[in-house]
């Protein structure tokens, strides 16, 4: 029996499906487990970093003392190079996201004197115009899914973005969203088991494109469940997802 968190992990993994030999960068436990799950199953060529400065030849669990086998050196300078070369697909955690996929991790309120300073734009502006970017929102609500983000730290589809822009997927604790619409506005791609369209609509601060028949988000296979358990024996994924 898979939990909501397990469904989210598999949905995150699916974001990297077909990416091949590129760096899968992930922020947050669920995307980290998702990237490693993809590497262990259907995307064996993905490059994974240990979050510090090494590329991993093996796929260790998130927690615990399992030995890391290093296949490369990846200091931040090299991450920036891979990023600019487009050989990367990152999954970030926005504080706010809008209908066109603009996202904010910079501040809440007016930037010149914010009511809440967040971490800062980090690599968001560069990521979104250089290579595919996806997002993970563990608490889907009208606070995170807003009409207008307070600061565009990651570029959406309604802004100038150049030739390498792609916002591929938004995975939340309720559903999976994408931008596969004529005007690249956000679309409900699938609903996690037990979640209703109404719940998603109520939790979203703008109008979504909702197909007539919304499929259910797939549940992990038995093999995937075994992999998820071995990657995350202490259930970090469960504590990250708002139920």
Q: Does 48 bind another protein (CB under 8 A)?
A: no
Least Å distance, CB 129 to another protein, is 5
> How many helices (H) and strands (E) would you count in the chain?
7, 12
DSSP 82-121: HHHHT-EEEEE--SEE-TT--EE-SEES-TTS-SEE-S--
Q: Does 67 bind another protein (CB under 8 A)?
A: no
Least Å distance, CB 96 to another protein, is 12
Binding piece for another protein, criterion CB under 8 A, among 5-13, 33-41, 77-85, 192-200: 77-85
Q: Does 159 bind another protein (CB under 8 A)?
A: yes
Residues 200 and 224: their CA atoms lie apart, in Å, by 26
Least Å distance, CB 57 to another protein, is 16
In sequence order, the 6+-apart residues with CB closer than 8 A to the CB of 157 are 100, 101, 165, 167, 179, 183, 184, 185
Q: Does 28 bind another protein (CB under 8 A)?
A: no
Q: Does 146 bind another protein (CB under 8 A)?
A: no
Helices (H), 151-235: 197-202, 222-231
The binder of another protein chosen from 52, 198, 213, 222 (CB under 8 A): 52
Residues near another protein (CB under 8 A):
52-54, 73, 75-77, 80, 83-84, 106-107, 111-126, 128-130, 151-155, 159-162, 164
């Amino acid at each position: 029996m898979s939990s909501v968190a397990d469904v989210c992990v598999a949905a995150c993994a699916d974001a990297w499906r077909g990416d091949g030999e590129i760096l899968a960068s992930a922020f947050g436990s669920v995307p980290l487990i998702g990237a490693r799950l993809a590497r262990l199953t259907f995307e064996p060529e993905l490059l994974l970093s240990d979050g510090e400065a090494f590329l991993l030849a093996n796929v260790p669990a998130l927690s615990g003392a399992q030995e890391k086998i290093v296949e490369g050196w990846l200091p931040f300078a090299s991450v920036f190079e891979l990023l600019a070369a487009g050989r990367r697909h990152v999954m970030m955690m926005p504080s706010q996201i809008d209908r066109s996929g603009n996202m904010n991790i910079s501040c809440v309120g007016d930037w010149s004197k914010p009511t809440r300073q967040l971490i800062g734009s980090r690599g968001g502006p560069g990521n979104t115009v250089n290579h595919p970017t996806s997002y993970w929102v563990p608490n889907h609500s009208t606070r995170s899914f807003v009409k207008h983000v307070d600061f565009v730290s990651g570029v959406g589809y309604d802004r100038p973005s150049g030739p390498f822009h792609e916002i591929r997927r938004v995975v939340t604790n309720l559903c999976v969203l994408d931008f596969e619409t004529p005007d690249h506005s956000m679309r409900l791609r699938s609903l996690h088991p037990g979640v209703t369209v109404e719940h998603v609509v109520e939790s979203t601060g703008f109008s979504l494109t909702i197909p007539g028949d919304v499929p259910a988000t797939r549940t992990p296979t038995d093999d995937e469940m075994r992999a998820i358990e071995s990657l995350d024996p202490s259930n970090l994924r469960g504590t990250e997802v708002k139920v």
